[in-house]
């Protein structure tokens, strides 16, 4: 298809126009939806937290204060653009974009709607073209999301370093250590989903979760979901893992020296990432745009077409997780840094690895025709032996450290 571009530079041929326009339309729509969702998320968070703390929250701009974010954005836009004298100017200017662009890129692979019922496979027909309601469906699918989330570290890390000041640097070193640590647990819980789905493509993962019993949260046995949820919260640097911006210790964290539009970009990226991560959780574990159905019984929204209904389901499911994230923020106190690292390395990574091995062993047993319970019990026993070895090693190292007089 792309070769026609060279032969037909004026785009007069009928072959190219529609697909190209559909792709352009999708890009614009995904960008706009992302921005509007982020704007509403900021408002939603402030309003819900205010409710949880017996306050009113934003209520001046627009109905229910819904335009508050827009007002804040305009204010930030007109503020003076400051660059610290001791900063590395090029990297200082580059860093906000390195944080902002990955936040949008992940949104591209999330199925935003479409009809996955029966044999439809999520395909919709627009202007005579079969397509999916997602910007891109690359064969590596979910690995793309992992790659982008590992790139997102650069924005925060370079912002802290290039500010030429010690508190942002401390904040960014913390943030990058945290994100690198939790990425392993994140990847291993995604691996569990990939193992049961048998595909990396996000639309393929959604297509296999046709009814409530097939949702990956149940098929993978709920543990990978919890690990993913915790690791994602740490990856987003949201409370209770928001050590990056621990105000009491670090002034404002990695973005202390930023002002005006550049600060707005960081702020936008943070909330955009929250929305994207919630959508990713829904896609991986809760069937994405699939309706809730038990057996042959499907909860169907009347009148609205099946393809658009998918978008409504996705929205409802994502809203639940956005609410949970806000709830976390309002409820949980911040972790201490060593507790954070202990949780990541000593609990989440071994747990996700062990669970992955258990699922893989069941898979092998299924293929070889072994008894399911025997396989499960044998694997659990082996994992218990491994865990006790790990616990022994941890206790030994703790004793050694106590003897050496290290605090933690």
Partner 1 sequence: MGLFVFVCAAAMVLVGAVGVVTRNNPVHAALSLVLTLFGIAVLFVANNAHFLAAVQVIVYAGAIVVLFLFVIMLLGVDQAEDLSLEPLTVQRPLALVVSIGVTGVIIAAVLKSQDALFARGTGIDSATLQDADANIRQLSRSIFTDYVFAFEVTSVLLLIAVVGTVVMSRRQHGQHVEESV
Q: Write out the residues near partner 1 by the rule CB under 8 A.
A: 2-3, 5-6, 88, 91, 138-140, 143-144, 146-147, 150-151, 153-154, 157-158, 161, 169, 172-173, 176-177, 180, 183, 187, 198-201, 204, 400, 403-405
Half-sphere exposure of 144 (CA within 13 A, CB side): 19
Q: Which is nearer to partner 1, 144 or 321 (CB)?
A: 144
Smallest distance from partner 1 to CB 161, Å: 6
Q: Which is nearer to partner 1, 95 or 279 (CB)?
A: 95
Beta-bridge partner residues of 297: 294
Smallest distance from partner 1 to CB 44, Å: 30
Place of tokens 């792709």: 23
Place of tokens 């790990």: 390
Closest by CA to 46, choosing from 242, 271, 272, is 271
Smallest distance from partner 1 to CB 142, Å: 9
Q: Which is nearer to partner 1, 250 or 322 (CB)?
A: 250
Q: Which residues neighbour 146 within 8 Å (Cβ) at sequence distance 6 or greater? A: 183, 186, 187, 190
Q: Which is nearer to partner 1, 60 or 403 (CB)?
A: 403
- Residue 140 in contact with residue 194, Cβ under 8 Å? no
Verify cis geometry, omega within 30 degrees of 0, for the bond prior to 240: yes
Place of tokens 């890390």: 157
Beta-bridge partner residues of 125: 130
Q: Which is nearer to partner 1, 331 or 396 (CB)?
A: 396
Smallest distance from partner 1 to CB 311, Å: 24
Smallest distance from partner 1 to CB 336, Å: 20
Cα separation, 110 vs 135, in Å, equals: 8
Q: Provide the CA 210 distance to its chain's centre, in angstroms.
A: 22
Closest by CA to 105, choosing from 131, 135, 133, 132, is 135
Q: Which is nearer to partner 1, 44 or 144 (CB)?
A: 144
Smallest distance from partner 1 to CB 401, Å: 10
Closest by CA to 341, choosing from 408, 278, 389, is 408
Smallest distance from partner 1 to CB 149, Å: 8
Q: Which is nearer to partner 1, 69 or 176 (CB)?
A: 176
Helix extents (H) in 244-294: 247-250, 260-285
Smallest distance from partner 1 to CB 62, Å: 40
Smallest distance from partner 1 to CB 139, Å: 4
Q: Which is nearer to partner 1, 186 or 322 (CB)?
A: 186
Q: Which is nearer to partner 1, 116 or 144 (CB)?
A: 144
Half-sphere exposure of 331 (CA within 13 A, CB side): 6
Closest by CA to 40, choosing from 2, 17, 68, 81, is 68
Rounded to 10°, the helix 14-52/260-285 angle is 100
Long-range contacts of 26-29 (CB under 8 A, 24+ apart): 26/134, 26/135, 27/135
Smallest distance from partner 1 to CB 13, Å: 16
What are the two backbone dihedrals, phi and then psi, of residue 131, each rounded to the nearest 5 degrees? -155, 175
Cα separation, 264 vs 81, in Å, equals: 11
Q: Which is nearer to partner 1, 140 or 294 (CB)?
A: 140
């Amino acid at each position: 298809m792309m070769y026609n571009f060279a032969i037909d530079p004026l785009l007069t041929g009928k072959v190219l126009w529609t697909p190209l326009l559909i792709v352009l339309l999708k890009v614009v729509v995904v960008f706009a939806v992302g921005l509007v969702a982020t704007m509403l998320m900021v408002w939603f968070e402030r309003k819900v937290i205010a409710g949880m703390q017996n306050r009113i929250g934003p209520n001046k701009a627009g109905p229910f204060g819904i335009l508050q974010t827009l007002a804040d954005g305009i204010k930030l836009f007109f503020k003076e653009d400051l660059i610290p004298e001791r900063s590395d100017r090029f990297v200082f200017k580059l860093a906000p974009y390195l944080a902002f662009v990955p936040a949008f890129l992940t949104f591209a692979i999330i199925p935003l709607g479409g009809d996955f019922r029966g044999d439809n496979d999520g395909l919709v027909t627009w202007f005579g073209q079969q397509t999916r309601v997602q910007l891109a469906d690359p064969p590596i699918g979910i690995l793309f999301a992992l790659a982008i989330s590992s790139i997102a570290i650069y924005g925060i890390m370079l912002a802290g370093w290039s500010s030429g000041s010690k508190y942002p640097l401390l904040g960014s070193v913390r943030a990058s250590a945290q994100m690198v640590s939790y990425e392993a647990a994140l990847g291993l819980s995604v691996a569990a989903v990939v193992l049961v789905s048998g595909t990396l493509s996000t639309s393929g993962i959604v297509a296999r979760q046709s009814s409530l019993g097939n949702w990956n949260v149940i098929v993978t046995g709920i543990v990978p979901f919890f690990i993913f949820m915790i690791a994602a919260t740490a990856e987003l640097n949201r409370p209770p893992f928001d050590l990056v911006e621990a105000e009491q210790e670090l002034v404002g964290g990695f973005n202390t020296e930023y002002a005006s539009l550049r600060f707005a970009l960081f702020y936008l990226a943070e909330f955009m990432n929250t929305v994207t991560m919630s959508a990713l959780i829904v896609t991986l574990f809760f069937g994405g745009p699939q309706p809730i159905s038990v057996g042959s019984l499907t909860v169907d929204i009347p009148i609205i077409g099946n393809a658009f209904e998918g978008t409504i389901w996705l929205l409802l499911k994502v809203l639940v997780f956005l609410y949970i994230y806000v709830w976390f923020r309002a409820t949980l106190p911040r972790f201490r840094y060593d507790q954070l690292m202990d949780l990541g390395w000593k609990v989440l990574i071994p747990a996700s690895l062990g669970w992955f091995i258990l699922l893989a062993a069941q898979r092998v047993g299924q293929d070889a025709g072994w008894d399911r319970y025997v396989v499960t019990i044998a694997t659990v026993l082996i994992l218990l032996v491994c865990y006790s070895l790990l616990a022994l090693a941890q206790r030994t190292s703790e004793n050694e450290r106590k003897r050496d007089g290290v605090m933690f």
